Amino acid sequence: MNAREKQLDKPVLRQHLTRWVVWFCLLVSVVFVMSVYVQADASASQASAAGPGPLKIEKDEVIMLMVSLVVLIEIVVSFNYIRLIPHKDVLVCSFVLFVLASVFTVAEGFVFGRVLNYAEHLSLAGSAILLAVWCALMFGSRRREGR
């Protein structure tokens, strides 16, 4: 390998290392969240039914938020490859709305439950609409050209 090829490999290696670190952190976070919820379920079963309990946040919602945030980081890290996708802006906006919906889902357990629930559903609807628009832009025009 010459010096030029070695320079080209450094960003690629850094990118792969970043991906492995991010995915490893996600795995550790999921295991941590699951262990916290197992402990919380055990202590909640021992607690008396009288009095208000702690905030109820579903563990699958927290895990979905973590996974979507990691995928968002992956999109940022590998944006050079995503840049090649036609109509990438519509696709990325669709995913960002999906991530916002995950954030709203978890946040509604803390504050503004009803408002954030509406925002969650609007974000999911917007995400689905943008994904449908992207599919129409990508595959609809090709089908028409083939006729």
Higher pLDDT, 136 or 26: 136
Tens of pLDDT along 28-87?
776 776 666 655 555 555 554 444 555 667 777 888 888 888 888 888 888 888 888 899
User: Using CA atoms in the order 18, 24, 26, 28, what is the torsion angle rounded to 10 degrees?
Assistant: -150
User: Would you state the structure tokens that stand for residue 40, as one six-digit string?
Assistant: 């919380």
Question: What pLDDT does residue 82 have?
Answer: 85
Q: What angle do CA 66, 69, 70 make, to 5 degrees?
A: 85
Domain ranges, ordered by start, for the chain: 3-48+58-141
Cβ within 8 Å of residue 35, ≥6 positions away = none
Please tell me the pTM assigned to this model.
0.66
For residue 24, the tally of other CB atoms under 10 A from its CB is: 10
pLDDT band for position 100 (cuts 50, 70, 90): very high
